Structure 1
Amino acid sequence: MSSVLRTTDRAISELLAGRHVFPVFQPIVDLATGGVVGLEALARGPAGSALEFPDRLFTAAHEAARLGELDMLCAERALECVLAVPNPPPLLFVNAEPSVLDQELSPRLGELLYGGLPFRIVLEFTERALPAVPGSLLRISGQVQQIGNGLALDDVGVDPMSLAFLPIIEPEVIKLDMSLVRNPEAANTRRVCEVVRSEARRTGAMVIAEGIETEKDLRAARELGAQWGQGWLFGRPGPIERADHRYQPAEVRAPRPGFHQPAGTPFAIAAAHGPVGPADPASIAAFLAGLGDTALLLISGDPGRPLPDLAERAGSLITIDDPAPGELTVVALGEGHGRVLTARAGTGLVTSDDLPTVAAVARALLTRYK
């Protein structure tokens, strides 16, 4: 092991042992009223050290194989800091590190979460988590909803995958990446925001624009459909003691326990929302031939066609190796649209392009993903 790695390992070990994470908090503002509706917690290491800022802090933890411990500690410290002030925000946004979503809660974090909080947590997933650990993401989403908290999908607009996963997660909050605010007239920005507005209308999600630094950014955020915003125009991140805001009530959709773990097999879910026809190889082949290019393709069972052929059409292909007995399911999701085919031996076949049905089938598949 090199001296640099040994130094990094020692620094991370000392930071974790001493719980030397010092979160800072940035306000999230209602763009219509200017009122503060919540705070986002941002991790910081010891001031003045090589690990003060999050890029180096999380890189060092990854190199030392301690990333999961650091992620838990950051969440613990954020909650502890907010619980220590007399005027907590209605909402506290906390980030989740995608690569360690499959870990169990630390005892301390479990104690904090289940001890009763005077505010609601919104757990932020970045789009990096979506294709990487979808099964764990849905499991954690279910836990978050079960205890009354909410979800946010962060950095929306950077990768088409985030738009494909939007109807699967159905977050309470959709966060537009700052690149969209900087380039409001770009074709990609318009396309992304059209999909986001449609999803927000359908599900009741709130839309936040990130990176608002100027009045020009503020105007762009409003034009793009954001209801809330955050950025240096409203305040830079700082210690919780400086967050002496007069908070306004934050109207966020109520939690939906069980939503991310739908009951029934993919075929049963689809059959409850559409007619069942005969299942024959020609119908399946025709469906597969008509898919075209898609952002996300989920397959469970044998589609009767080589997977590499199908993978060429997908931004991400996820195969589920634990299919429901006797069922074939193919889900294709793009930007604001989707299609599903599911067939059960001896029963029949269902196809649908109804987005809520497609998304429900996708959730049923991904909960089986290991």
Structure 2
Amino acid sequence: MPDIHAVLDARTVTPVFQPLVEIGTGRVAGYEALTRGPAGTPWESPLALFAAARAAGREAELDWVCRARAYEAALAAGLDRSTALFVNMEPTAWRAGCPADLADVTARAERRLRVVTEMTERSIAADPSALLAATAQCREAGWGVALDDVGADPHSLALMPFVHPDVVKLDMQLLRSPHEPHTARVVGAVRAYAESSGALILAEGIETERELAVARSMGAVVGQGWHFGRPGPLPAGRAAGTALPLLGAPAADPARERSATPYSIVAAERPVTRTTKSLLMPTSRMLEADAGAGAQPPVLLACFQEEKFFTPATARRFAGLARRSPLVAALGAGLPAEPAPGVRGADFGADDPLRGEWNVIVVGPHHAAALVARDAGSTGPDGDREFDHAVTYDRELVVAAARSLLHWLTPDRRLQPAT
């Protein structure tokens, strides 16, 4: 029997496809590609296959192989841009780059297929900077992005605006527990996002007529599950499907995000006022308190200029918030990768514009707010230091400011799957 390295070297994985169906019309709108390892081996199950590849240090390569095999099968079956092909991707695979032997089929897929790349909440929190790069690359190819398993973890709701998904996939467990308060909170947040963005809601795991009715009541317009068909080969002589609409890139320019700062983004759109640090502290604390309140914890990102301003008291507050939030980050010159338990850290150089900024940004499923401030260069006691500042609750502007900081956050190995 071959070992996992032989399986990967020979690229011996097989894609199967499950239909995605328009609930209102019954028409096929796309297929999701799922992976199977070599039949009759310990790696036939995708879970076992990926676990073995992870242990061998080749998980990113397997991720590329699975997608490439799906592209090959779709191209061979004559799939075109009238029918969406959903494929799963770990954003961390983007860092590894496409293996040379898979580059041709990937390039052909970019030209001929309508691909929707699925990402999960866990992968987003693990490597935010790779997430932004991977989603930007998908959209440059004219492809879409889906957020998978929404509702399996409440953290996915706060991270949704950073993905800006074209499709939100409701986790199948929501269909099984429609009367639970958690389900109502998740569905409410997803419907609010879909209404504001134009994204589609897709319900996974539909097996019965009752679950189909539940999915429809949740706002799903596309369904997936055994009620519509089990995974298998793409059908021969497939009729043209219904093209799923894609949102395209978010309004913010990714290149501008990488070069801009929260202050420059918000100050370009909102009036700026000069005041002292002591007078800004109540607003800063209020935003931190918002991050700790409610049943759906938000993302909290903050810039502290220098390590000395991330005080022991602040570290305790942030560590407490990190225990229930999907992502809490503190950036400042001299800050380590984990300045407090569970808190993501980032250091920047003496000449970086962020060193002059004090920012507190909160993004949740229903609430977004940002305090952005730039040091005016005054001297004297710390509380009397002056800052030019602006406060905004405009969701699009707050998310753009937050995304400019996500580029600083490198992979968190604690959030990678265990080997």
Q: TM-score, normalised by structure 2?
A: 0.81
Identical aligned residues as a percent? 38
**Residue type of the alignment partner of 1:52:** E
- 1:189 equivalent to 2:183? Answer yes
Q: Larger deviation: 99-108 or 173-182?
A: 99-108
Q: Deviations over 1:199-255 (max 9, x none)?
A: 111111111111111111100001011111101100000022468355223223245
Instruction: Name 1:330's counterpart in structure 2.
Output: 360
3-state SS of 1:171 partner? coil
Partners of 1:296 and 1:333 within 8 A in 2: yes
Partners of 1:98 and 1:126 within 8 A in 2: no
Instruction: Name 1:20's counterpart in structure 2.
Output: 12
Residue 17 of structure 1: how far off its partner (Å): 1.5
Instruction: Name 1:270's counterpart in structure 2.
Output: 266
| Structure 1 unaligned spans of 5+ | 1-6
Partners of 2:272 and 2:389 within 8 A in 1: yes
Partners of 2:304 and 2:310 within 8 A in 1: no
Instruction: Name 1:297's counterpart in structure 2.
Output: 300
RMSD of aligned Cα (Å): 2.1
Instruction: Tell me the distance in 1 between the aligned counterparts of 2:391 and 2:245.
Output: 36
Instruction: Name 1:48's counterpart in structure 2.
Output: 40
**Residue type of the alignment partner of 1:11:** D
Decide whether aligned partners of structure 1 residues 160 and 289 sit closer, same or farther in structure 2, where only a CA change above 3 A counts.
same
**Residue type of the alignment partner of 2:362:** A
Instruction: Name 1:96's counterpart in structure 2.
Output: 89
Q: Larger deviation: 90-99 or 210-219?
A: 90-99
Decide whether aligned partners of structure 1 residues 91 and 131 sit closer, same or farther in structure 2, where only a CA change above 3 A counts.
same
Instruction: Tell me the distance in 2 between the aligned counterparts of 1:313 and 1:299.
Output: 13
Decide whether aligned partners of structure 1 residues 81 and 283 sit closer, same or farther in structure 2, where only a CA change above 3 A counts.
farther
- 1:344 equivalent to 2:355? Answer no
| Structure 2 unaligned spans of 5+ | 332-345, 377-386, 411-419
Decide whether aligned partners of structure 1 residues 177 and 112 sit closer, same or farther in structure 2, where only a CA change above 3 A counts.
same
3-state SS of 2:186 partner? helix
Partners of 1:41 and 1:94 within 8 A in 2: yes
Decide whether aligned partners of structure 1 residues 170 and 231 sit closer, same or farther in structure 2, where only a CA change above 3 A counts.
same
Residue 274 of structure 1: how far off its partner (Å): 2.0
Where does 1:205-220 land on structure 2 (aligned, <5 Å)?
205-220=199-214
Q: TM-score, normalised by structure 1?
A: 0.91
3-state SS of 1:312 partner? helix
Residue 12 of structure 1: how far off its partner (Å): 1.1
Structure 2 counterpart of 1:319, from 326, 330, 335:
330
Partners of 2:91 and 2:130 within 8 A in 1: no
Decide whether aligned partners of structure 1 residues 279 and 59 sit closer, same or farther in structure 2, where only a CA change above 3 A counts.
farther
Structure 2 counterpart of 1:363, from 391, 403, 409:
403
**Residue type of the alignment partner of 2:193:** E
Partners of 1:45 and 1:52 within 8 A in 2: yes
Q: Larger deviation: 105-114 or 210-219?
A: 105-114
